[in-house]
Chains A and B, each alone.
Chain A
Amino acid sequence: MLSFIAVLIDGTIYASWLFLVAAGLTVIYGVMRILNMAHGSFYAIGAYAAASAIGWYFSDGTGSAGMSFLLLIGCAIAAGLVVGTLVERGLLRFMYGRDEILMVIITYALLLILEDAMKLIWGVNPYFAYQPYTALGRSTIAGLKVSNYDLALIGVAVVVGLALWGWLERTNLGKILRAVIHDREVASAMGVNVRRMFFLTFIIGTTLGTLAGALTAPSISVVPGIGVEVIVLAFAVVVVGGLGSIEGAAVGALLLGLSRAMAVHFAPQFELFVIYGVMSLVLAIRPQGLFGRTLARKI
């Protein structure tokens, strides 16, 4: 029973993290049809930005936990805006209209560039930003000690998910975006400025990536290569859920998060295996993912 609860808690925490990491990826794919390999790098940039800011903020031994959270989020947004603008204006806008698979390769090139850019900016030594994590302390749930920061992460994931959903389903802008998602040509013919929507979407997607990184920074050591590890997990989530679907990403994150927690508790040697195993299984049964749509080619 205890281990069941532990799996549930660990799984939900991990799922929240997976969702945060994957949300930006799926939003960008949904609107722009770009499977962004560099999304993990956005995550890493967010983590580095947050870690160096937190390090600076606490460097004189003082500093309040509350401010440090604002700092985390502020850094994530600033980094997202800067990087998103640079990448979209400087690279992607010249590449629109190319094959989906070619966009994967282009964003892979971007990943390679950003990985080294981070090494040049932040060096190769680890950064730590544990203060916000420890400041929140721990709670005891059914006899298990759980970090409050991790629990807060669940809340953040829910808020981000609802905000995205509400934005897409309940606002005018969301309606326009859904039109773009549904049929780019038709939307364009109806007078939607598709390129502007792309820019906006990319900025939002990037910021979601940096936010995920910034929120993760307090619980890890920020080192080169974290983005490369994260991106394949994020892929698994969005592929399971159905590329481009927010609900899909949420369900996919839950499925993978709980599966992994189960593996960690009962069969630790299958920890990594289980994520890709579940992904392959889902795809074998539903090639388009849980919430994906299939489109037959018209001839």
Chain B
Amino acid sequence: MTPILETRGLNKTFGAVTAAKDLNVRINKGEIVGVIGANGAGKTTFINMVTGYLPPTSGEILMDGKAILGLAPRAITRAGLARSFQVAQLFPELTVLDNLVIALAAAESPHPSFLKPLRTKARVAKAEEILAEFKVAAYRDARVTAVPQGSRKLIDIAMAMIGNPKMLLLDEPTSGVSVDEKGDLMDTVMAAVRHHGLTVLFVEHDMDVVRRYVSRILAFYSGEIIADGPPDAVLADERVRELVTGHSDHKPAANAGAREGSSVA
């Protein structure tokens, strides 16, 4: 089966910093993949490269077997690879409704109209549906600046899903959200994901959240994928425990040789 997303030998350096080192990732349709790794491990850089925001130093990126390296983010979005952002990327001074309506119009056509009104009845109705689905209907007419963090993240994800993508890359959907809200937020997101039958990769620091939703984990450390496999196996991996999840038994790194399925070839 052709993976929906595949990277081959992806590298990225920023000056002296290696943010990605020989990343070989294959993600198949229907998978829910969690990405873990400490701050600065290269998780966001991976998403940025895959979606065309940053050019990799070397390597290949394929979607459904076709090379997408070198395409602009807009082309990759239109090809069906959507993403959300670590810090929600919205239009702060516009209302939540307008944020969604703009996204809906963009999804309809890459060539927007000059004189036909943006806010049509059909788009507004659809936007209201989405607001309800993501439990943010209360903020319909509020400007984004007046919306709390958790709801902003939900709107950000909703906007990514508007274009009916094949696959969704979520960069820390719960960052900046209080601990008690995390569960509800993820439930809302995952309900929508299931409803639309999407393949998902999401970055998350909270291992409880990860364990609850994913079928597979990629563990990043210093630009490398040090473990890739089912959650239980990856979270039990010694190097992961030492370098990522922080429950290390304080064994020297050299002992961490026996690690479970390192990078998938």
* A in complex with B: yes
- How far does the alpha carbon of A296 sit from the alpha carbon of B87 in the complex, in Å? 16
A294–B87 alpha-carbon span in the complex (Å): 22
A12 to B87, CA, bound (A): 50
**Residue A285 CB within 8 A of the other chain:** no
| Residue B85, interface by CB 8 Å | yes
A296 to B73, CA, bound (A): 15
B53 contacts chain A at the CB level, 8 A cutoff: yes
CB distance from A67 to the nearest CB of B (A): 53
Residue of B nearest to A297 (CB): B53
Tell whether A142 is near chain B: CB-to-CB under 8 Å.
no
Q: In the complex, A296→B89 CA distance in Å?
A: 16
Is B86 located at the chain interface by the 8 A CB criterion?
Answer: yes
A1 within 8 A of B: no
Give chain A residues whose Cβ lies under 8 Å from the Cβ of B87: 299
Note all chain B residues with C-beta closer than 8 A to A296.
54
The size class of the interface chain B forms with chain A is: under 10
In the bound complex, what is the Cα–Cα distance between A296 and B45 (angstroms)? 13
Q: With A and B bound together, what is the CA distance between A237 and B28 in angstroms?
A: 54
Determine whether B48 belongs to the interface, using a CB cutoff of 8 Å to chain A.
yes
Residues from chain A with Cβ under 8 Å of B48 in the complex = 299
How far, in Å, is A293 (CB) from chain B's closest CB?
A: 12
- B201 shortest CB reach to chain A, Å: 16
Taken together as a complex, chains A and B put the C-alpha atoms of A299 and B73 apart, in Å, by: 13
Chain A positions within 8 Å of B54 at CB level = 296
Chain B proximity of A186: nearest CB distance (Å) = 16
Residue of A with least CB distance to B44: A299
User: Which chain B residues numbered 21 to 58 have a C-beta less than 8 Å away from chain A?
Assistant: 44, 48, 53-54
Give the nearest-CB partner of B171 in chain A. A299
CB distance from B39 to the nearest CB of A (A): 13
B156 → chain A, closest Cβ, in Å? 11
Q: Which residue of A lies closest to B47 (CB)?
A: A299
Query: Chain A, 274-299, contact with B by CB distance < 8 Å: what is the 0/1 string?
Result: 00000000000000000000001001
Question: Hey, what's the 0/1 contact readout for B78-95 against A, CB within 8 Å counting as 1?
Answer: 000000011101000000
Contacting A at CB under 8 A, from B88-112, are 89
Residue of B nearest to A299 (CB): B85
A239 to B216, CA, bound (A): 51
CA separation between A296 and B44, bound complex, in Å?
A: 14
B89 CB to closest chain A CB, in angstroms? 7
The residue on B at minimum CB distance from A298 is: B44
Tell me the bound Cα distance from A296 to B14 in angstroms. Answer: 12
Using Cβ atoms and an 8 Å threshold, which residues of chain A touch B44? 299
- Residues from chain A with a CB closer than 8 A to the CB of B85 are 299
Closest to B53 in A: A299
Give every chain A residue within 8 A of B89 (Cβ-Cβ). Answer: 299
Question: Which B residues are in CB contact (< 8 Å) with A299?
Answer: 44, 48, 53, 85-87, 89
A296 to B55, alpha carbons, bound, how many Å? 12
* Min CB gap B186→A, angstroms: 22
Enumerate 8 A-B pairs (CB-CB under 8 Å) in ascending A order: A296-B54, A299-B44, A299-B48, A299-B53, A299-B85, A299-B86, A299-B87, A299-B89
Question: Chain B residues in contact with chain A, CB under 8 A?
Answer: 44, 48, 53-54, 85-87, 89
Further pairs besides A299-B48, A299-B87: 6, Cβ < 8 Å: A296-B54, A299-B44, A299-B53, A299-B85, A299-B86, A299-B89
Instruction: Give 5 closest A-B pairs by Cβ, nearest first.
Output: A299-B85, A299-B89, A299-B53, A299-B48, A299-B86
